[in-house]
Amino acid sequence: MKSTIGILTGGGDVPGLNPAIRAVTIRALREGHRVVGIRRGWGGLVDIVPDKDADNSRNIQFLTEDIVDKAGRTGGTFLHSSRTRPSTLPREFVPPHLQAKYQDDVNDMTDDVLKNLDFLGIDCLIPIGGDDTLSYGAHLHERGVPVVAIPKTMDNDVPGTDYCIGFSTCVTRTIELTHKLRTSAGSHERFLVIEVFGRYAGYTALLPSMAGAAGRCVIPEHPFDLERLTELMVYDRNRNPSNYSVVLVSEGAQISGDSDMSFEGEEADMFGHRKLGGIGDRVANGLKQLSPKYNNGRRVNVVSQRLGYLVRSGNPDALDSIAPMAFGNLALDLVTSGKSGRLVSVHDGRYRSVPMEAIIGTKKVVDVEKYYDTERMRPKYKEFNGLPLFIMTSDA
């Protein structure tokens, strides 16, 4: 046996995770390695009982070709996921066998995570996740754990890579569902307001708009004037023979004058994020109330829809089947060559890797000056020569 490789998935689920797990596992097994799947992301590493007689079946799964081959054709993650952050774990999530040791309201469990990795005999760890999940992976690398990271997020906002697993399926589904919803908007001559993913980055609104899904979009990188959006929506509607118009609203977008994003509640996860939601309905209500001012005194009603989990559930599209395969094999290339502390990535259409430090202390967001027309609230359609496949990159 050459080495033991651990693999986990953290954060939100996306189509493409299982193909990535499959790629890592099959290649590793055929080259003589052992692969341990860690269940529920970092949560599984926290909950492991480091005793050879303990039942850790809820926390780990030894992977075989048969297991990953079947799962690799499906969406989600068969290893399951969580938003656990071991360095800031609330006391209520401390496992029973460690409750006497960790009694603070918030606890740093990293020392025991390191013990559990040693107990499992893991020689290299491959976390698949967004910047939150991977930031803790970078922390473990700083503590001496060999880590090779794979980027995943619907928002496509992990720094250091032009592409993250899940983004293509998200864009594909957003375009598809927006076009389906047009029939309702057109039948009733309404505005169509669709709330899409995008906490800090507006890629999931900009790319579908650029592809023709919507005439307007508002993104987290630039606060928008609701009156101006209403004016534009009325203009689009009056020019459309079917008398409707469409706007995509990033969940993190802010109306000018707002002090913060729109949240569902006050509760935050272990990474300090409150659950976003509601900006789409706020925009819809505002458009309805303001529409008479720009529509000869007549109110325009609204179809408002939050896409949510519809774009992250189900099977991956073609790109989210191919890119995870390449990412998984690239991760194994790094492992077998003895390299760690790397993030597998795509830049200018080519696979490569960058230091994990690329994800720390920065955010990957839309370059508004390059790609977004703030006055017209839509993507910029010029100077495409030489741009990569997905237009807007990490510029890493």
3-state SS, one letter per residue, for the chain: CCCEEEEEECCCCCCCHHHHHHHHHHHHHHCCCEEEEECCCHHHHHHCCCCCCCCCCCCEEECCHHHHHHHCCCCCCCCCCCCCCHHHEEHHHCCHHHCCCCCCCEECCHHHHHHHHHHHCCCEEEEEECHHHHHHHHHHHHCCCCEEEEEECCCCCCCCCCCCECHHHHHHHHHHHHHHHHHHHHHCCCEEEEEECCCCCCHHHHHHHHCCCCCEEECCCCCECHHHHHHHHHHHHHHCCCCCEEEEEECCCCECCCCCCCEEEEEECCCCCEEECCHHHHHHHHHHHHHHHHCCCCCCCEEEEECHHHHCCCCCCCHHHHHHHHHHHHHHHHHHCCCCCEEEEEECCEEEEEEHHHHCCCCCCCCHHHHEECCCCEECCCCCCCCCCCCCCCCC
Q: Which percentage of the chain shows pLDDT scores above 70?
A: 94
Mean pLDDT of 60-68: 96
* pLDDT tens-place string over residues 295-334: 999 999 999 999 999 999 999 999 999 999 999 999 999 9
Active site positions, annotated: 155
Task: Tell me if domain 4-165+314-359 and domain 170-311+368-379 are identical in fold.
Answer: yes
Question: The domain 4-165+314-359: what is its CATH number?
Answer: 3.40.50.450
- Domain residue extents for the chain: 4-165+314-359, 170-311+368-379
- Global pTM exceeds 0.85: yes
Question: Does the pLDDT of residue 354 top 70, yes or no?
Answer: yes
* pLDDT tens-place string over residues 143-157: 999 999 999 999 999
Mean pLDDT of 229-256: 97
Question: The domain 170-311+368-379: what is its CATH number?
Answer: 3.40.50.460
Q: Which percentage of the chain shows pLDDT scores above 90?
A: 85
